[in-house]
Structures are given as structure tokens and as C-alpha cells.
A and B are shown apart, each in its own frame.
Chain A
Amino acid sequence: MDGMNYLTVAYLGMIAGIALWTWTVVNRSKSIEARLHAVETSMGIVASDADTIAKEQAE
């Protein structure tokens, strides 16, 4: 393989990696947000942002 082929392989891997990682994170955020909204709406509850494990430790 010559240098240009190596460069192409590196670029394709990098672009695919960055795009996949960003898409996964944004998608995960939207999916959890939707699930949380559905749970809170259907049960009529509002969960707080508190970290229960940290709270238990503080108590």
C-alpha cells in the first residue's frame, strides 16, 4: 500500500468513528429523555435529579 492509501484508510476510520460516537451519544440522550418523560407522565410523578447512592452515603 502506498502512503495515499494509508491516509485514506485513516481518514475513513476517523470520520466513521467520530460520526458514530456523536450519533450514539445524541441518540442515547434523546431515547432516555423520551423514556423518562413517558414514565413520569404516565405515573404522574416527577423524579428529582438527585443521585440516590450519593444521598444514601451523605445520610
Chain B
Amino acid sequence: MAGRSAEALLGIGFLGVMTTLYLGFQWAPSVSIDAFESPAAQRIFYWHVPAAWAAFIAFGVLFAGSALWFFKRSPLGWRLHVAGAEAGLACGLMTVWSGCVWGAAEWGTPWDWTDVRLNTFGLLTLLALFLVLGRQSQPDGVETRDTFSTFGLYGFILVPFTYIATRIWEIRHPGPVIGSGDDSGSLSGDMTVVLLIGALSFTVFILGHILMSMRITGLEQRLEQAQHQIDGGK
């Protein structure tokens, strides 16, 4: 039953994401040729921002799962930790990839090592990569889980730091266009609609992935237990 709802969410989210890609390419209005070096590449924005939003949801799940495992020894917490790390890595890579291509088109360079937002988000993605690869290379056990959960807990500090980075130090990455707290938002009505469809679609998509990943971790544990029983364990 849980597997079916995860697959349904994944399917709906996937369709939503593909619709966002289509709308961003075909339907969203073009931007002024004077405002951007590369107005065509600006269309990446419609899924770069929702992908980053989904990555923040995944890192939130990673933090909650890490805390639940570390402080409560909750099996659900460990499954959330694993799912959050995998989803955070995938969405982080999507965000970094789309940002690099846009940066190459707009700034003439895919990465700016002096920009705080770029570097803190890059570090978050690397943290997720470390957690995913580390879990695959280490035997499952309390010490391993405690170590990775600690990284999940402390690493989360980069999330609010990344969020406020462009509000404090706007170096290369553009500042917020929604929720900036003043009237400096520069989005037209149609642009906002595509962006909101994207945010909703990526949210459903990432929730589907998180549920699927939690299910896979549960199945892996069940398989391990079955093999333990075959080997003569209790």
C-alpha cells in the first residue's frame, strides 16, 4: 500500500516536473534582452529554483532523520536520514548543474569561488554525496549510523546560511525574486505561475522519491534479516 502511494506520488511528480520543463521552454514569457546577457538561458530559472527548493526539503528531512536516530534511536529516523541524503544529492546536483550552465551563459563562467551562496550550496551537495557514498562503503552498525547522523545534524547549519547568503552578500548569484521582504520582486504574473507549478511539482516528486527510498531501506533490512535467519541466526 505504502509502495503504491510512493509510486503514485513519483509518477504525478514526474509528470509535473516534465510539464514545468515544457512550460518554462514554451509558455513562459521572454525576458528583456537588455536585462540579461543571455535571455534564452534565463528559462533555466523555472526549474533551477524549484530544484533548489526540493533540495532544501530533502536536507530538512535529512536533519529530522539524523536527529531522530541520534537522540531517539528511531528506525524511522534512520530511514529518513538515508532518504534525505539520497534526495538531497539528486536535487543538489540538478541545482548545481542548471546553475553552472546558466552561469556559463550569463556570467561567462560556470562557477564563482568568491560567491557565498554558490559555495555553501556546493558544500551541502558534497555533504549529501559523502553520506550516500559513505553509507554504501561502510558496514551498517550503530557507530556508522551515529557518525553519519552527526554529519547530517551539523551539516544542516549550511541550509539557513545558504538561504540568507544572497540577502547579506549579493556577489554573483542574483538576490531573491519572491519573498524578499520588499517590493523588489521582478516576476510577472505568468512567470510566477510557472515557478509555482514547478515548486509544487518538485515538492510532490521529491516526496515520492523520499517515500520510495524509505521503502527500499526497509526492504534491504528485511532481506538482511532473512539472510541472517538462513545463516542460522535468531
Q: Which residues of A contact B (CB under 8 A)?
A: 1-4, 6-7, 9-11, 13-15, 17-18, 21-22, 25-26, 28-29, 32-33, 35-36, 39-40, 43, 45, 47-58
* Residues in B neighbouring A57, C-beta threshold 8 A: 73, 142
Q: Is the CB of A25 within 8 A of B212?
A: yes
Q: Given contacts A18-B17, A25-B212, is CB(A3)–CB(B225) below 8 Å? A: no
Q: Given contacts A7-B43, A21-B90, is CB(A49)–CB(B221) below 8 Å? A: yes
Query: B193 in the interface, Cβ–Cβ < 8 Å?
Result: no
Out of A6, A26, A36, name the residue touching B226 (CB < 8 Å).
Answer: A36
Q: Is the CB of B3 within 8 A of A58?
A: no
Q: Which residues of B contact A (CB under 8 A)?
A: 3, 7, 10, 14, 17-18, 21, 25, 38-41, 43-44, 47, 73-75, 78-79, 90, 93-94, 97-98, 101-102, 104-105, 140-142, 145, 209, 212-213, 215-216, 218-230
Whole-angstrom CA separation of A32 from B212 in the bound complex: 12
Q: Given contacts A10-B44, A11-B21, is CB(A47)–CB(B223) below 8 Å? A: yes
* Residues in A neighbouring B21, C-beta threshold 8 A: 11, 14-15
Q: Is the CB of A25 within 8 A of B219?
A: no
* Residues in B neighbouring A58, C-beta threshold 8 A: 73
Q: Is the CB of B209 within 8 A of A25?
A: yes
* Residues in B neighbouring A10, C-beta threshold 8 A: 41, 44, 97-98, 101-102
* Residues in A neighbouring B215, C-beta threshold 8 A: 29
What are 9 residue pairs bridging A and B, where the CB atoms are less than 8 Å apart in the complex?
A: A7-B105, A10-B102, A11-B21, A25-B10, A32-B223, A39-B226, A48-B222, A50-B225, A51-B78
* Residues in A neighbouring B18, C-beta threshold 8 A: 15
* Residues in A neighbouring B226, C-beta threshold 8 A: 36, 39-40, 43, 45, 47
Q: Is the CB of B218 within 8 A of A49?
A: yes
Q: Is the CB of B219 within 8 A of A32?
A: yes
Whole-angstrom CA separation of A45 from B226 in the bound complex: 7
For the complex of A and B, the 6 pairs showing the least CB-CB separation, nearest first, are A3-B40, A51-B75, A3-B38, A6-B105, A47-B226, A10-B101
* Residues in B neighbouring A54, C-beta threshold 8 A: 73-75, 78
* Residues in B neighbouring A22, C-beta threshold 8 A: 10, 14, 209
Whole-angstrom CA separation of A33 from B2 in the bound complex: 14
